[in-house]
Amino acid sequence: MFALVDCNNFYVSCERAFQPRLEGQPVVVLSNNDGCIVSRSAEAKALGIKMGEPLFQVRSLVEQHGVQALSSNYALYGDMSGRVMGYLASVAPELEIYSIDEAFLSLHGMERWHGRLDDYARRIRREVKRRTHIPTCIGLAPTKTLAKLANRVAKKDPALGGVLLLDSPERRQWALEQVPVEDVWGVGRQYATKLYSLGISTAAGLARCSEAMARRHLGGVVGARLVRELQGYPCHHLAPSEDGSLARQSIACTRTFGRPLSQFEDVLAAVAAFASRAAEKLRRQESAASVLTVFLSQNRFGTTPPPHTRSAQVTLPVATSDTTELVRFARSLLGRIWQPGSVYVKAGVILDGFESGEQKQLSLFAPDGSERTARLMQKLDALNARFGGNSVQVAAAIGAVGRQPGVWKGQQRRRSPAFTTNWNELWEIKA
């Protein structure tokens, strides 16, 4: 039996955990540059504010109803996520951290120790709330896809008290009939449109599909597995994370600038900073990358024909996690795609092609100096961990001498304090 634990309105709930005045209020959390809505409280949803909607399009609604709009504070959310996941890791033998606010648990055979699994889930839910102030819903079912579906039903139906267990054919059928097909895990816009045109509008309808039909219309083997999972035959297993961290196969750092940029030095400073961040993440998971991509985008709104994203990629002679080296390659790739006179709104750096364990052995014989570099990078990470953010950077990330630094950075006018992660912004308890 799988359990999916999903935090409700996670970013908003994190903010509320430290700002009780937000309780009961319509609240939204905004994306980078305060651009789009990425998390909504129930009250904000009730006002008709949609997920992913640009703030400026709902400005009047926000003002009219006094919606609290907060800039995102990822240091806070990451820290809160760690607390929730840390507790969940203690309630089941295996945990797969699926995203910042969701985890799959394997509860196989746990009835023996904990009695009815839905009762056990209710206790977990209560305890997460008590420890972190984060509300959750829990779906329990024989497959991951059904656990997602159970979770979704539990979330929509208050009578269920946040927990739904699908342990009989009747319960399962009942739940499948509740859920529109577009809300099934793995069915996006394209597939939903296709399914509706085939007369399939609910999860129950999709579960009745033949394998041939699923293969034909839903991306081959992906669709076949999806239908099997809805029928109760597990095709996806748990990918447990040993220490709570996830080893990624690619690492990206991309941002929309605070304002459009046309000076090479300004964009270079951004790209160098992105490469540095990506290298940091890379070292944290003890990987080394052999493929580096840099891209630049122009404004994609209100222009015809749609403007391009230019990108360039290089395969490195030797996989590395050395910031200075990655920044050097990133700079040269940027030079390749840079077009003087163009105006750019966004850039990004992507690391790929991580080396495997055996390949890493070879680096023992890497050119002289690699060990020195490794020690330097350790010190760099330690300093930045201790003094915060970007205390120590490579020069290119700061920008040319005499230029204003970080002009690519956006504004976060509505950010809450970093209650848990910054000494200067600790939560104050007034006596």
Nearest to 202 by CA among 177, 223, 169: 177
391, burial (CB in 10 Å: exposed 0-12, middle 13-18, buried 19+): exposed
Residue 97 within binding range of DNA, rule CB under 7 A: no
Distance of CA 104 to the CA centre of its chain: 15
Among 41, 136, 256, 276, binds DNA (CB under 7 A): 256
Give the pair of three-digit tokens for residue 40.
């909504």
Q: Which of 54, 180, 240, 417 binds DNA (CB under 7 A)?
A: 54
291 to 330: interface string for DNA, x by CB under 7 A: ----------xx----------x-x---------------
Site for DNA, residues 330 to 359, rule: CB under 7 A:
345-346, 348, 350
Counting contacts by CB under 7 A, is residue 71 touching DNA? no
Nearer to DNA, 123 or 300 (CB): 300
Closest-CA residue to 166 (of 154, 182, 180): 154
Return d(Cα 205, Cα 195) in angstroms, integer.
9
Q: What are phi and psi of 356, to 5 degrees?
A: -85, 175
Q: Which stretch binds DNA (CB under 7 A): 63-71, 86-94, 188-196, 336-344?
A: 188-196
* Binding range to DNA, per CB under 7 A, among 89-97, 106-114, 215-223, 333-341: 215-223
User: Cβ 312 to DNA, closest distance in Å?
Assistant: 10
The C-alpha atoms of residue 385 and residue 367 are separated, in whole angstroms, by: 29
User: What sign does the CA torsion over 324, 248, 98, 36 have?
Assistant: positive
Amino acid of residue 105 = L
- The helix-helix angle for 221-230 and 144-156 (nearest 10°) equals 60
User: Is there binding between residue 156 and DNA (CB under 7 A)?
Assistant: no
Q: Give SS3 for 401.
A: coil
CB of 430 to DNA, least distance (A): 34
Q: Is 220 in the site for DNA (CB under 7 A)?
A: yes
396 counts as binding DNA under rule CB under 7 A: no
Contact segment (CB under 7 A) with DNA among 106-114, 122-130, 217-225, 368-376 equals 217-225
The verdict on 245 binding DNA (CB under 7 A) reads: no
* Interface residue with DNA, options 23, 24, 56, 395 (CB under 7 A): 56
Distance CA 280, CA 291 (A): 16
**Residue among 64 and 249 whose Cβ is closer to DNA:** 249
Q: With CB under 7 A as the contact rule, which of the stretches 126-134, 199-207, 250-258, 318-326 interacts with DNA?
A: 250-258
Residues 24-53 that bind DNA (CB under 7 A): 31-33, 35-36, 38, 52
Mind giving me the DSSP string for 276-287?
A: HHHHHHHHHTT-
Shortest spacing between CB 258 and DNA, in angstroms = 8
Distance of alpha carbon 357 from alpha carbon 286, whole angstroms: 10
Least CB distance from residue 56 to DNA, whole Å? 3
Cα 45 to the chain's mean position, in Å? 21
Dihedral of alpha carbons 397, 398, 401, 407, sign? positive
Least separation in angstroms between CB 295 and DNA = 11
* Closest distance of CB 78 from DNA, Å: 12
C-alpha atoms less than 13 angstroms from C-alpha of 317 in its C-beta half-sphere: 4
Using CA atoms of 267, 273, 276, 278 in order, give the dihedral in degrees to the nearest 10: -80
Site for DNA in 223-242 (CB under 7 A): none
| CA–CA dist 13, 27 (Å, integer) | 9
Taking the least distance from each CB to DNA, the nearer of 58 and 380 is 58
**Alpha carbons 174 and 180: distance in angstroms, whole number:** 13
**Structural tokens at position 137:** 């819903």
Between 188 and 402, CB nearer to DNA: 188
Q: Which of 245, 250, 361, 391 binds DNA (CB under 7 A)?
A: 250
Of the pair 120, 187, the CB lying nearest DNA is at: 187
Give the interface size with DNA as a residue count (CB under 7 A).
46
Binding site for DNA (CB under 7 A): 31-33, 35-36, 38, 52, 54, 56, 98-102, 148, 184-192, 219-222, 248-256, 281, 301-302, 313, 315, 345-346, 348, 350
